[in-house]
Amino acid sequence: MADRSAHPRTRLDDNFASPLRFSLLATLSEGIELDFATLREILQCADSPLSKSISHLHAAGYVTVRKASLGSRQRTWVRSTGEGREAFAGHLQALREIVALGGGASL
């Protein structure tokens, strides 16, 4: 259990330190499954950084990856896991608390 007396930055999840990984999990936050091309379009990024971000979050257990053939083309589908959604919600809560400590606007 996290120490609630510690500064909220100690509860930030390093898996979301990359803006692309953060955006990826935000896009998948409802547990929807999206294909790689759709994610690339939504996130406005190149293939390599997206692939690396997916691999990182998959290794952390935050997304699942499914490969399937659609016609003659191989497609990659990505979905957030319950663990990933929970970690992302905790990260967002820590950000909100950091902003609140600074007296800033709410997130």
Number of independent structural domains in the chain: 1
Evaluate whether residue 3 is within a structural domain: no
Residue 29 lies in a domain: yes
Radius of gyration, CA atoms only, the chain: 16
Residue 103 lies in a domain: no
> What is the domain-level CATH number for residue 76?
1.10.10.10
What is the pLDDT, as a whole number, of residue 58? 98
Residue 1 domain flag: no
Q: Residue 3's pLDDT is what?
A: 62
What pLDDT sits at residue 31? 85
Domain membership of residue 20 (yes or no) is yes
Share above pLDDT 70 across residues of the chain, in percent, rounded to a whole number: 93
- Across the chain, what does the average pLDDT equal? 92
- Tell me, what's the pLDDT at 32? 93
Interval 37-57: pLDDT, tens: 999 999 999 999 999 999 999
Contacts for 63 with CB less than 8 Å, ≥ 6 apart: 24, 25, 28, 54, 57, 78, 79, 80, 81, 84
The predicted structure's pLDDT at residue 57: 98
**Euclidean distance between CA atoms 6 and 20, whole angstroms:** 27
Per-residue pLDDT band for 76 (boundaries 50, 70, 90) equals very high
Average pLDDT over residues 56-69: 96
Cα separation, 98 vs 91, whole angstroms:
11
